[in-house]
Amino acid sequence: MTTKYTVFQLIGIRMLLFSSLAILCNASFSFWLSQTLNVSFFFLWLLSLTGLFLFAIGLLYVMKSGLVIRRMVIYFFGWIVGNSLLMIFADMYYIQVLMQLPIIVYAILVIVLIWLFCSEFKQLYLRKQEGIELC
């Protein structure tokens, strides 16, 4: 007997594993930055988790539709260009908005994003394999 896994299930499990590793790396990097810059660890950690889960949810959403590889590449470059433009053109305003939001806003946002990530992950994992042309 063999066990059959779809490509999307393997991608989903790999993404879940890498997300867990990224959370650990974000925590250690946030701890180091909080000691260096004298900023709250929880603030930096929640801010980094917000970005991580926003990217992951967007990527899972893109993977649910057809033509996965092309859309993933477009999403990846769009994420980089969008964040670069925010850093270049809205440098001080962007940083001020991020720094002035209270920790509770980030905590609530991370909880909502984790819930959205879990629901998108479940939909991707339980997706039926419809054909090779989707990849």
In whole angstroms, what is the distance from residue 29 CA to residue 33 CA?
6
pTM over 0.95: no
Would you give the distance in Å from CA 103 to the centre of its chain?
19
| pLDDT at residue number 114 | 92
Query: What percent helix, strand, coil does the chain show, rounded to 5?
Result: 85, 0, 15
In whole angstroms, what is the distance from residue 46 CA to residue 130 CA?
37
In whole angstroms, what is the distance from residue 75 CA to residue 13 CA?
20
Contact between 131 and 71 (Cβ < 8 Å): no
| pLDDT at residue number 77 | 95
| pLDDT at residue number 24 | 92
- Mean per-residue pLDDT pooled into runs of 10, the chain (135 residues): 71 84 91 89 90 89 79 92 85 81 91 92 74 50
| pLDDT at residue number 86 | 84
Contact between 50 and 109 (Cβ < 8 Å): yes
